[in-house]
């Protein structure tokens, strides 16, 4: 981003990375004249952002709670830089307990779980967040609701890691068992023929045909938490799941069930989603920085959103990125179109 010519005594910002953050995340600021021998003041809109590390050419600042305007300004020695526009995630729902991606219908309604501790029967299993960001109870009676996904007809499905079941949830929130015997059922996804794939975190990816025939599609190393599934533009199934390794991978699985490593180098990778350009987004830690990592089709990775506790993500019809932490949902106006269902 170009910046106007400024005097040497005025702080100058040349780059801010990553492009977006949620509260608790960090921005790396590169520039000149940012300290002048004293710690600068950094603001996001009218909210002060704590400086974690400061030098004349490099700052790290933390996004505080309450920040919603991404006009970042560095002030030092009584002079302020020109503002730099960043994207700040806006809190849209809290009091939830997602453990994977939220699901978004064609009208932009967002569905997220209150999963609870293993075996815990919570009062509400799935919440529905409407266009006005009002979170309302939607489905009950699903113990440890985990993965959510829509099929090609717009029906919502939910897995239960406690029961080993996948439920079909109707438009009023009523649920019925769609398939059982899925082990520790976690991530779910549909392919272009409306086959359902279910990740049993103990090591199996199941494939369920529209007639509910069950196949073992692939086997992986067991996950410590969950498998998260998404189909890529070439029809391969992509899978993440944190293991005992500190250098975890994104796997991809061919139509024939052949497993290969797509990308290696994450800490605790979780929810995943594709955009319409074929970029893969992964909730993970990379080089010690937590948030959402974007991997382009050439397998080059960069941190796209900084923030703690992100477990899943989804793209809305309005081109916003919805990030789910372990207790809340944030909207990031990223201007990105998600990959449409085939």
Domain 92-332 has CATH 1.25.50.10: no
Q: Please tell me if the domain spanning 12-88 has the same topology as the one spanning 92-332.
A: no
Mean pLDDT for 13-35 is 96
Given a cut of 70, whether residue 87 has pLDDT beyond it is yes
Given a cut of 70, whether residue 7 has pLDDT beyond it is no
Given a cut of 90, whether residue 39 has pLDDT beyond it is no
For residue range 228-245, list pLDDT tens digits in order: 999 999 999 999 999 888
Q: What is the pLDDT of residue 4?
A: 41
Given a cut of 90, whether residue 62 has pLDDT beyond it is yes
Q: What is the pLDDT of residue 110?
A: 98
Mean pLDDT for 32-42 is 88
Closest CA to 226 of 323, 115, 126, 151: 115
Q: What is the pLDDT of residue 184?
A: 98
Question: Domain extents for the chain?
Answer: 12-88, 92-332
Q: What is the pLDDT of residue 69?
A: 83
Strands 214-219 and 228-231: unpaired
Q: What is the pLDDT of residue 68?
A: 87
Q: What is the pLDDT of residue 2?
A: 36
What is the pLDDT confidence band of residue 342, given thresholds at 50, 70 and 90? low
77: left (phi over 0), alpha (psi -120 to 50) or beta: left
Give me the percent of the chain exceeding a pLDDT of 70: 97
Chain-wide mean pLDDT for the chain?
A: 95
What's the longest Cα–Cα distance across the chain?
71
Burial 188-214 (b: 16+ CB within 10 A, else e): bbbbeeebbbbbbbebbbbbbeeeeee
Q: Comparing 245 with 157, which gets the higher pLDDT?
A: 157
Given a cut of 90, whether residue 5 has pLDDT beyond it is no
For residue range 247-283, list pLDDT tens digits in order: 999 999 999 999 999 999 999 999 999 999 999 999 9
User: At the topology level of CATH, where does 12-88 sit?
Assistant: Immunoglobulin-like (2.60.40)
Mean pLDDT for 201-229 is 97
Q: What is the pLDDT of residue 8?
A: 57
- What residue has token string 């796209």? 304
Given a cut of 70, whether residue 90 has pLDDT beyond it is yes
Cis status, amide bond into 128, omega within 30 of 0? no
Strands 165-169 and 175-179: antiparallel
Q: What is the pLDDT of residue 246?
A: 78
What is the pLDDT confidence band of residue 81, given thresholds at 50, 70 and 90? very high
What is the pLDDT confidence band of residue 292, given thresholds at 50, 70 and 90? very high
Q: What is the pTM of this model?
A: 0.95
Q: What is the pLDDT of residue 340?
A: 86
User: From residue 298, how far is each of 233, 248, 265, 274, 301 by CA, in Å?
Assistant: 14, 19, 15, 14, 9
Report the alpha-carbon distance of residue 84 to residue 13 in Å, rounded. 7
Burial 86-97 (b: 16+ CB within 10 A, else e): bbbbbbbbeebb
């Amino acid at each position: 981003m170009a910046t106007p010519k400024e005097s040497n005594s005025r702080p100058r910002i040349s780059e801010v990375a990553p492009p977006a953050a949620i509260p608790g995340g960090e921005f790396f600021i590169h520039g000149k004249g940012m300290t002048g021998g004293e710690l600068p003041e950094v603001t996001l809109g009218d909210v002060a952002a704590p400086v974690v590390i400061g030098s004349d050419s490099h700052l790290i600042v933390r996004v505080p709670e309450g920040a919603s305007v991404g006009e970042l300004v560095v002030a030092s020695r009584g002079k302020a830089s020109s503002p730099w526009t960043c994207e700040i995630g806006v809190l849209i729902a809290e009091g939830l307990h997602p453990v994977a991606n939220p699901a978004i219908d064609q009208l932009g309604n967002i569905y997220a779980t209150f999963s609870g501790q293993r075996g815990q029967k919570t009062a509400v299993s799935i919440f529905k967040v409407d266009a006005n960001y009002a979170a309302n109870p939607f489905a009950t009676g699903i113990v440890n609701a985990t993965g959510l996904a829509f099929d090609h007809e717009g029906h919502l499905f939910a897995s239960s890691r406690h029961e080993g079941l996948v439920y079909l949830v109707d438009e009023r929130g009523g649920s019925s068992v769609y398939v059982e015997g899925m082990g520790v059922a976690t991530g779910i996804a549909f392919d272009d023929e409306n086959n359902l794939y279910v990740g049993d975190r103990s090591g199996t990816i199941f494939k369920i045909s529209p007639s509910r025939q069950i196949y073992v599609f692939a086997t992986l190393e067991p996950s410590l938490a969950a498998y998260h599934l998404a189909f890529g533009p070439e029809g391969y199934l992509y899978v993440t799941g944190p293991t005992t390794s500190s250098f975890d991978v994104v796997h991809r699985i061919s139509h024939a069930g052949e497993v290969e490593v797509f990308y290696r180098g994450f800490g605790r990778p979780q929810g995943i989603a594709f955009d319409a350009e074929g970029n893969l987004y992964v909730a993970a830690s990379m080089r010690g920085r937590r948030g959402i990592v974007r991997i382009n089709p050439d397998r080059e990775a960069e941190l796209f959103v900084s923030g703690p506790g992100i477990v899943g993500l989804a793209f809305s019809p309005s081109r916003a990125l919805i990030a789910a932490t372990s207790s809340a949902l944030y909207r990031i106006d990223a201007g990105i179109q998600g990959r449409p269902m085939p």
